[in-house]
Structure 1
Amino acid sequence: KGGSIETKTVINVKEQKPQLLSDLNDSPSANTAKIGEEFFLEIRAQGKPKPNVTWLLNGQELSSHSSDYELIVTEDGLYRIVFHQFHERYLGEYQAVITTTTSTIRTKIIRVIGQQAPVFTQALPKFIQIKTGEKLTIECMAKGHPTPKVSWLRDGKVLSNKDGYDIKVDQTTGHSIFIIPIGTVKHSGKYECKVENQYGTHTAEINIEVLPPPTTQQKLKDFDLSRGQEATITVTANGTPLPPCIWFHNDKQIYPKPNHIVIIDDGPTHILKLLDVQLSDAGTYKAVVESSSSTTELISQVTVRDVPDESSESVDIHVSQGGSCTLECQATGTPLPEVIWTRDGQQIKANEHYQIESTANGNHRLIIKNSQYEHAGRYVANVCFKINPNL
């Protein structure tokens, strides 16, 4: 007669304590992580049932879900944590904890250290131009592991505050500030910012140009003119950029006037021409050359004299040889005019035969002593009136 038979079989699986087949590698070369690159740690372990592995960083359990790393487990007992782009925040002491339902074991503790050659996190300028007297500040921001040392150089020589610079360095962050407090032409040149640690060196070159201040001739020519003459006042002012020149007459700015005042600006050369000068043109002329760093004032005194008049009637004087005579001229004014005596158009200078006198009341004399035949001629008293520009 047909039927069925039911058989019950009980299989007992004997648990096996977790075993560490391959511990963490504690060699420094294996546990040096390059910042920003892939890095991993791994162990091999077995047990029944298959053990669970958690990873500790500085005693704290790492999450099993993170975009920063991947946890890999293989059938043959390989447990690996893989950082695809290792970050500094994961530096420290690592340990793996291997657990089954019955027991737990731990790996040795190893320290992961970072390695990163220095790089600039902010590009430095390749060329900087400032004017004389200006302040220059350059900022360096770099990273690396360990934090790079920052230094500033010129012509291969390391610079310090003793060289007249203001250098600030934070060696814990790789941040540095380089300051030239007051730029001068001597600061022009090639500079370098160097960041370095034991894994590499990175250098940025900076060319600094400090524009020279304007240079201006320090003295202007004074002029003593007669009415109707002309004068040319010239100023040379160099600089980058070329500084402008403004002209003043008795502290009032001058502007061009046809047939009378001409102003020419030709590069570094600045010219003021006074044509057909009149008494009103006398006075103080000032050239003001101004740049962003300095102002220079140059002065020229212009004196305008009235045209000499021959207003008196001619007088004939007869003198015996060896005799003496006195020629007189009365000319007053403020300031007192100058009288120039001439014989046949030639100016007379005082000597043993000629004695020239002038008094405060405007009396001017020419005394001829021990007259000789060669002293005969046409004598003229030329009166030159000097105009006081302050009146």
Structure 2
Amino acid sequence: MQCIASNEWESSTASAEVSLVWDGPHFTHTFPPLEPLSPGQSLSLKCSATGLPLPQIVWTVDGQPVSDNWRLRIGDYVSSDGIVNSYVNISNVRVEDGGLYKCLALNGMNTAVHHNHVVVLGPVFVRPFAHNITAVAGHAVRVDCPANGHPIQSIQWFSGGSGSNQWTKLPQNHRQRALTNGTLIIESIESRTDERWYRCVVNGSSGGAGGGAGVGSTAHGNVYIEVLVAPVINPFHASPNLRE
């Protein structure tokens, strides 16, 4: 940066160098793990972050954007010390408000992520999958069942053909793993055998502070996995008799 002052007799010049140090976002405050909530209680989640440029904070629950409604409000403000504060307030919580909440701070340089589960006592509930899943053959795929409610006795995974009511319990082979936390992992996914509908089934149980609120409750969610096969270029061999 340079400035020049002059008149008809003389001129004077001064210069200075200004350096901007871009900084990815980092959190100064995040919401802690919470005890299970009873329906009707209020919930407040807050994340604060800073960075250069100032980050934007967005919220998701079970991988889907958190949206305002008459019980849920999202807001943010920038404090005088350059910290972005964002919050989610929910009044009169319901079972369907539970899930894996994430706050993501983004500023074009990097992304910082914080997450914790919010558990609401009551019958089990599976949030509908936002979209089907597209995978590339030969790669591993991980699918998390968006199960909510409490207490949960078990989460199981099944697969079925398109339009079929016949579901087969997983795993069926060494490439599949159905974890007790509701995660399905398929290693080296194949188009011929793995492209199909998948269903996670959640069973509620009695016990805990819910006073048996989950007894006998069952819920499920379906998602389709499409498997794409990457193109392959076969080597070509020139004829030894080829001439220019």
Specify if TM > 0.5.
no
TM-score, normalised with respect to structure 2: 0.43
> Highest CA radius of gyration, 1 or 2?
1
Q: Which has the higher contact order (CA 8 A, sep 6+)?
A: 2
TM-score, normalised with respect to structure 1: 0.28
